Amino acid sequence: MENTTYEYNKTLLGTTVSLTLLEPNETVAKIVFKTISMLEDKLTVNRQLSEVMSVNLAAGKHPVIVSQVVFSLIEQAYKVSLIPNNCFNLAIGPLVKLWKIGFKGHQVPNDEQIKQQLLLTKPEDIELNSAIQSVFLKKEGMEIDLGAIAKGYIADITKIILCKHNIHQAIINLGGNVLTIGQSLLSEDGYWHVGLRKPFSFNNELVGIFNVNNKSVVTSGIYERFFIQNNRLYHHIFNPTTGYPLDNELESVTIISNTSLEGDIYSTILYGLGIERSKKFLQKHQNISAIFLLKNKTIALVNHENISFKLLDKQYLISYY
């Protein structure tokens, strides 16, 4: 059995991006990394210049015409943000910038500051014009933040590039967003084996490992970027109603879906819904599976596609739905 892989790594998107191929192909790896870097340049809000930043800097002033690739992602994020009773909000930028979680100068802001920023986080105050691909943030100080979904969007584009180059078996990992393409030749069962990280473990310990083929695996967790102050943990996924990090029984949500963009959207939405409402939600979404890690060390696996999960950490208890 073939068991050699060729791995290409590059620091991009604030993480290590890795591409695993079954045959060496330096040329394709370069094309993939160049495309990711080009997309990052357009979508980032962590630098002064990007297409999204030019929209943000024109808030309250005028609409900005963006490229098709940027408009398409903003439009999809906007539509999701308008779904009632869900925590996903692309206009969350002012809160992200206020708390600075995961960046230098992070802080617990005072209530007045949070109240002020909440006024600037209404997706209804975004105006899109698809005829000319323009985006207008109606109030000064508003900011679009695509941090929750940019990686998924980029991962899906990467898959298209690989297919165009006739690569039909690969893994792309954008740090938290894993996309498996085709069948694995590495295991007897033909599945890719994906590890589920143990929250807050610093030496890459795994809670378990599971099998997927041709699927995206995306995790949103409270341990990715956080800080602790006065014994409280503040992490980087916000409740757009309160302006504070979302607080519930979950440590992480992993979504197994066809596209990485869906994975990104649903991992954030379900994290916000909490375990019980998520289970109900998933009854109506049979095309996605989810693995929830709870703070009380239980794993809830909503398994719609016969994913076989192997528990490695015996501290955890697993239940299937």
Which lies closer to ligand ADP via its Cβ, residue 21 or residue 196?
Answer: 196
Q: Which of 94, 123, 176, 263 binds ligand ADP (CB under 6 A)?
A: 176
Q: Which of 12, 19, 148, 237 binds Mg ion (CB under 5 A)?
A: 148
Q: Which of 21, 167, 237, 275 binds ligand ADP (CB under 6 A)?
A: 237
Gap between the Cα atoms of 178 and 19, Å rounded:
10
Q: Which of 71, 238, 292, 309 binds ligand ADP (CB under 6 A)?
A: 238
User: Is 51 near Mg ion (CB under 5 A)?
Assistant: no
Tokens 């099998």 locate to: 211
Q: Which of 123, 199, 208, 240 binds ligand ADP (CB under 6 A)?
A: 240
Which lies closer to ligand ADP via its Cβ, residue 169 or residue 173?
Answer: 173
Cα–chain-centroid distance for residue 268?
7
Q: Which does 88 bind (CB under 5 to 8 A by kind): ligand ADP, Mg ion, none?
A: ligand ADP
Which x/- pattern, by CB under 5 A, does the window 208-247 give for Mg ion? ----------------------------------------
Tokens of 186: 């590495």
Comparing C-alpha atoms, which of 73, 244, 227 is closest to residue 148?
73
Which lies closer to ligand ADP via its Cβ, residue 251 or residue 264?
Answer: 264
Three-point CA angle 318, 320, 195, nearest 5°: 60
User: Is 278 near ligand ADP (CB under 6 A)?
Assistant: no
**Residues 6+ positions from 106 with CB-CB distance below 8 Å:** 99, 100, 227, 234
Of the candidate spans 52-60, 231-239, 276-284, 311-319, the one that interacts with ligand ADP by CB under 6 A turns out to be 231-239
Q: How far is the CB of 77 from ligand ADP (least distance, A)?
A: 8
User: For residues 49-108, which are near ligand ADP according to CB under 6 A?
Assistant: 87-89, 92, 96
62 CB-contact burial (10 Å; exposed 0-12 / middle 13-18 / buried 19+): exposed
Which lies closer to ligand ADP via its Cβ, residue 28 or residue 95?
Answer: 95
Which lies closer to ligand ADP via its Cβ, residue 28 or residue 144?
Answer: 144
Gap between the Cα atoms of 163 and 181, Å rounded:
9
Tokens of 193: 């084996």
Gap between the Cα atoms of 206 and 313, Å rounded:
7
User: Is 236 near ligand ADP (CB under 6 A)?
Assistant: yes
User: For residues 113-172, which are near ligand ADP according to CB under 6 A?
Assistant: 145, 147-148, 151
Gap between the Cα atoms of 278 and 222, Å rounded:
17
Q: List, as one string, the DSSP characters of 107-149.
A: ----HHHHHHHHTT--GGGEEEETTTTEEEE-STT-----TTT
CA quadruple 46, 47, 51, 54: dihedral positive or negative? positive
Which residues are near ligand ADP by CB under 6 A? 87-89, 92, 96, 145, 147-148, 151, 176, 220, 224, 236-238, 240, 264, 268
Q: Which residues bind Mg ion (CB under 5 A)?
A: 148, 264
